[in-house]
Structure 1
Amino acid sequence: MLFFSLALSGCALILPSNIPISEPISHPVRFLLTFDDGPSSSNYMNSTESILKDLAHNPVQPGIKALFFVQTRGATLHSPGRELLPREYAEGHLIGFHTATSGHNNHRFLSPEDFVASLENGIADIRNATGTAPTLVRPPYWSYDTRTFAAYQAHGLHMLLTDLSANDGKTWGFNGSPRRRINLHNQLAAMRAKMVAGSLPVVDGVVPIVVTFHDTNSYTARHMNEYLQILLDVAKELNIPVSDQAFYKDRSALERAALARTVKDGSEPVVLPGLWGWIWR
């Protein structure tokens, strides 16, 4: 059980990364940062607030814009989370829907009535906070089926999963990531063959690589600047060209890139981070 907990939370599995790195890649990549589960409602060293500050002011690329998949009910109803959601949008970030239940509930296991209510409540909450409805959704626990996928589509929501995951979701209180560098290195190495084959979409001249963190994780917040540098370092190690603008700085460009990477068919096989693919399979 300890292994299972660590694998899902912060300690990445060591994957083989013996992929050749000499094959040329035709287009540079740009990292599309996403954050799940926030905004944080903590009154002490709020992790969402810390991440917003680091995205705006960091030594790698000041002014980074990210995609926040938010929970709009439960703890987020309380201050300061209530104020952070509109602040995220006001600072130029993109807001996506995660869930609008009282907790981090799996959409597949909700009753049809509760599921639809969650979608409608979440869309309304985000519209009220930002003035615009969300276009993107990421299901809690990466869990979906053809029924929930169809409901997302019917509500104007396009499902975005991920290419790289920091595996920093809290599991039974553990929120560190002692293998954060090798984890991101190996996941990016696994993506390299797709880049060489040209099977990833090119948007605005770059290949968007989706990276997932959790802005409710205090460890992630304390190491955000380090994570940014790690992404650039492992791309260099793998001989993957990175755009002069390594991260997104414009919400519209960010949204175009995210929509290009969404799942188009709810029945198509996908690769999920960590052990989640094995769990749901």
Structure 2
Amino acid sequence: MLFSAIALSVLACVATVEAAPTNEKRQQAQVIYGCTQPNTVALTFDDGPYWYIYDISNALTSRGAKGTFFFSGNNYQRIYDQGAIDQIKYAYNAGHQVASHTWGHKDLTSLTWDQIHDEMWRVELALQRIVGVQPAFMRPPYGNYDDEVLYASYIRGQKVVIWDFDSGDSVGASAAESKERYRTTSLNRPSTLLALNHETIESTAHDVIPYAIDRLQSAGYRLVTVAECLGEQPYQWTGAPQTPTSDWRC
């Protein structure tokens, strides 16, 4: 019902969704704050696609590691720009996980029911078109969620991913400070780590991430995707990517 309604609304670029029930107990999406598989680290990257994705992907791949990229549809650049399409395909084809960070990077807790779905489905549609996947995980912008967001995620078949380690790159931490956070944490040696980074920061891509990978691997961790660190599947389904057409605009 929900997805057939959405499919009919593609040309209008507006999601049509069922009204949220108000007088019944509603199931909520699972919220994930950490990995479950011992000795795993999931390095995650928000706010892309962006051109630093090539450097991050190469740093991971050259060291036998995988990462997870939470993409927005219209944040630093539009997801249907050819450069963004190429960036997403590059990461996906390298074996990294792609997931949703919603369309416009809005605080979902400030939106209406229909607006929440609209923010979610546009990115899902883009990932279906560009690489042929329906993501099983989403990260709400700023890590903010409420009951409405969790219910919307549940009926969309997605789990909500937060984090248990923040590199601090989005709140002004220098590269040296972010590296020190990784160093200290690796010395404390938690069983797992679900790490927040941002794809759009040059020092993160060129300095922090190569250091973090080497440091964490030296501490004995396997660097894997979010799905792998949970022992789950990254996508609800996979199919063939589509050829861009004139309606790839929103």
Q: Same fold (TM over 0.5)?
A: yes
Q: Provide the residue aligned with 1:220 in structure 2.
A: 204
- Which of 26, 29, 42 aligns to 1:32? It is 42
Is the partner of 1:133 in helix, strand or coil? strand
Is the partner of 1:184 in helix, strand or coil? helix
Separation in 2, partners of 1:188, 1:210: 13
1:37-56 paired onto structure 2 within 5 Å: 37-40=47-50, 46-56=51-61
Q: Provide the residue aligned with 2:152 in structure 1.
A: 151
Say if 1:33 and 1:211, in contact at 8 Å, map to a contact too. Answer: yes
Structure 1 stretches of at least 4 aligned residues deviating more than 3 Å after TM superposition: 185-192
Q: Provide the residue aligned with 2:121 in structure 1.
A: 120
Q: Provide the residue aligned with 2:177 in structure 1.
A: 179
Deviation of 1:35 after TM superposition, in Å, equals 0.8
* RMSD (Å) for aligned C-alpha atoms: 2.4
1:188-207 paired onto structure 2 within 5 Å: 192=190, 195=191
Q: Provide the residue aligned with 1:162 in structure 2.
A: 163
Deviation of 1:72 after TM superposition, in Å, equals 2.1
Q: Does 1:255 align with 2:227?
A: yes
Deviation of 1:154 after TM superposition, in Å, equals 1.0
Unaligned runs of 5+ in 1: 1-26, 41-45, 196-207, 236-241, 261-281
Q: Does 1:109 align with 2:110?
A: yes
TM-score, normalising length from structure 1?
A: 0.61
Separation in 1, partners of 2:82, 2:159: 29
Say if 2:169 and 2:178, in contact at 8 Å, map to a contact too. Answer: no
Deviation of 1:80 after TM superposition, in Å, equals 1.6
Say if 1:158 and 1:259, in contact at 8 Å, map to a contact too. Answer: no
What is the identity, as a one-letter code, of the residue corresponding to 2:229? A
Please give the per-residue CA displacement for 1:208-265, whole angstroms capped at 9, x wherever unaligned: 42122111111101112112123346x4xxxxxx25xx222xx6xx5242466xxxxx
Q: Provide the residue aligned with 1:140 in structure 2.
A: 141
Deviation of 1:67 after TM superposition, in Å, equals 0.9
Q: Provide the residue aligned with 2:28 in structure 1.
A: none
Separation in 2, partners of 1:185, 1:52: 21
Separation in 2, partners of 1:109, 1:188: 36
Unaligned runs of 5+ in 2: 1-36, 233-250
Deviation of 1:163 after TM superposition, in Å, equals 2.0
What is the identity, as a one-letter code, of the residue corresponding to 1:217? I
Q: Does 1:230 align with 2:228?
A: no
Q: 1:228 to 1:177 in 2, by over 3 A?
A: same
Q: Provide the residue aligned with 2:78 in structure 1.
A: 76
Separation in 2, partners of 1:126, 1:216: 19
Q: Which moved more, 1:66-75 or 1:77-86?
A: 77-86
Q: Provide the residue aligned with 1:96 in structure 2.
A: 99
Separation in 2, partners of 1:119, 1:148: 10
Say if 2:57 and 2:91, in contact at 8 Å, map to a contact too. Answer: yes
Deviation of 1:48 after TM superposition, in Å, equals 1.3
Say if 1:38 and 1:76, in contact at 8 Å, map to a contact too. Answer: no
Q: 1:53 to 1:181 in 2, by over 3 A?
A: closer
Is the partner of 2:101 in helix, strand or coil? strand
What is the identity, as a one-letter code, of the residue corresponding to 1:51? I
What is the identity, as a one-letter code, of the residue corresponding to 2:178? R
Separation in 2, partners of 1:48, 1:256: 20
Q: Provide the residue aligned with 1:263 in structure 2.
A: none
Say if 1:163 and 1:187, in contact at 8 Å, map to a contact too. Answer: no
Is the partner of 1:127 in helix, strand or coil? helix
TM-score, normalising length from structure 2?
A: 0.68
